[in-house]
Amino acid sequence: MKLALAQINPTVGDISGNAAKILECYKKAAAQTADIVVFPELALVGYPPEDLVLMPSFVRKAMQAATELAKKTRNGPAMIIGCPWEEGKRKTYAKVPGSPWDEKRKIYNAALFLSGGKIAHVAHKIILPNYSVFDEKRIFTPGDGPMIIKCGGRKLGLLVCEDVWSNRLPRELSAKGIDLLVVINASPFEAGKPLRRREVAAAAAKKAGAPLVYVNMVGGQDDIVFDGGSFVLDAKGRCVLQMAEFEEGLGIYPVEVTAAARNPMLPLRDSQDPLWRAMMLGLSDYVGKNGFPGVVLGLSGGIDSALTAAVAVDALGADKVKGVLLPSPYTSKKSTRDALETARLLGIETMEVSITAGMEIFDEVLSPVFRQSGWMKDVSLGGNVQARLRGMTLMAISNKFGWMLLSTGNKSELAVGYSTLYGDSCGGYNVIKDLYKTQVYALADWRNAQSRAIPEHSIIRAPTAELAPGQKDEDQLPPYAVLDSILMLHLEGRLSAEEIIAKGYPKAVVEKIVRLVRINEYKRRQSCPGVRLSPMLFGRDRRFPLTNKF
């Protein structure tokens, strides 16, 4: 018996396109004499489908597509695919016919076993995650217990993603004497996650007393990235097949795992490499799946815009990235030099649009209101106007040419509200949204070690928004090393100000930072999506009330 691991990149909602991708991969596996082809969790509809599942027509079309795919197995290998599956009849309400909230309408996150031209078995996901990026209890019904499928004289246990993290389910399958444990997954990337998956799967293989096949999705979906990295473990938890990360592929392996284990650990990588590849994949899929011809971003000469431009070029190619310089009277010659050097190193086209004339017009229009000479030099007033003029200019260029605007605010700035709403926060996507400023510096050094892409002066210069003469970030914020340490304790660690102060941090600084995080929730709620790289992405993982006095 041969097993094919089909690590594919589906698009949420593109049922026909995903079915075509599945069929193409199935034919390749059949040509390699595979007996079963295993696809990821909800591969037919993409993950996460969110409230699309609550639309009866969506589930119906997915089930119809699964039925058509099943017919292809009449004279070929069996197939395991992920698909939403509805069971039970719907009530009819006078006011809301076909209501998705009907208790009798049971929709499962299912693994379908297609064989002999039909849907032979439907296994329901048992443990529905409802934390972090997951919201499955809202839309799915949990299954009752694990399913065992007989195929080719073997007994296959079938689990869906979160099920394998359970201590109970692999043991239940072991008690029934399975020969192989197959797990289909849509497991999102975050730093350190691949190794944790391997450890969990190894423990499950030992509990089940059987080899384990782990097939993971790959690709970007809004702010989530799936990193692939599918693998096969023997019954002792040793890796015998490891597929590539962050790319589609087809892995073939015999079920009989008797040879000495190869590759017992994940390949060692530089700690920054997975972060960079995740940002590339998240951006390229967001741009490609949404049909944008390319991206545009403001080049300030600073490290954030330079790093964002480098990711964009690596992900999309230089021809699909446009840079815009937006000088004001406060823009230094060094900033212009660094912005142009970034463009030269990356090979991207630039244009320059001065916002000075716009500042003068706003000064003329608003001076009678503020009754203050030189109010534009006030960062709290004129600074915001400048940032919004830049944002408006970039959005106009985006609208004219159809290029998606990249926002360039890092996690440290977003956390404390060090940005202007409808100004530098403008954008359709942000690849560094989940990177603290100190991580931005580390990644810039790492990227330059591969090939020079970011001007050295952009890395070593003091960060500044240049909204006033001589302005620097640290005029209003503590050094980023201190700021990021406090933010990590407060956000990822969920510690209060008192608990952080108890660790030795200055009381006044901690209280200021925690207060800024709290009062700027409204800005973050309106920020654009960005690549999730940690367990604490704003929006997906941290959802606090806007009105909050805690």
Break the chain into its structural domains and give their ranges.
2-255, 276-477+520-525
Average pLDDT in the chain: 90
% of the chain with per-residue pLDDT over 70: 90
- For 98-121, what is the mean pLDDT? 82
pLDDT digits (tens, 9 = 90+) for 358-380: 988 988 888 888 876 666 666 66
- Give the Cα separation of 18 and 424 in Å (integer): 36
Q: What architecture does CATH give domain 2-255?
A: 4-Layer Sandwich (3.60)
- Give the Cα separation of 280 and 269 in Å (integer): 17
pLDDT digits (tens, 9 = 90+) for 504-525: 999 999 999 999 999 999 999 9
Active site residue 41: yes
Query: Has residue 460 got a pLDDT over 50?
Result: yes
Catalytic residue among 21, 125, 207, 433: 125
Q: What is the pLDDT of residue 151?
A: 87
Q: What is the pLDDT of residue 228?
A: 96
Catalytic residue among 25, 41, 72, 86: 41
Q: What is the pLDDT of residue 261?
A: 44
Who's near 178: CB < 8 A, 6+ residues apart?
Answer: 148, 155, 156, 157, 208, 209, 210
Q: Which CATH superfamily is domain 276-477+520-525 in?
A: HUPs (3.40.50.620)
Strand ranges for 45-130 from DSSP E: 78-87, 106-115, 118-124
Q: What is the pLDDT of residue 368?
A: 82
Sort 197 into a burial class: Cβ within 10 Å, 0-12 / 13-18 / 19+.
buried
What pTM value is reported for the model?
0.90
pLDDT digits (tens, 9 = 90+) for 379-412: 667 788 899 999 999 999 999 999 999 999 999 9
Active site residue 161: yes
Q: What is the pLDDT of residue 152?
A: 84
Residue with tokens 């997954």: 185
Q: Residue 225 in 3-state DSSP? A: strand
Query: Has residue 466 got a pLDDT over 80?
Result: no
Under the banding of pLDDT at 50, 70 and 90, the label for residue 259 is very low
pLDDT digits (tens, 9 = 90+) for 302-311: 999 999 999 9
Under the banding of pLDDT at 50, 70 and 90, the label for residue 540 is confident
Catalytic residue among 25, 83, 151, 161: 161
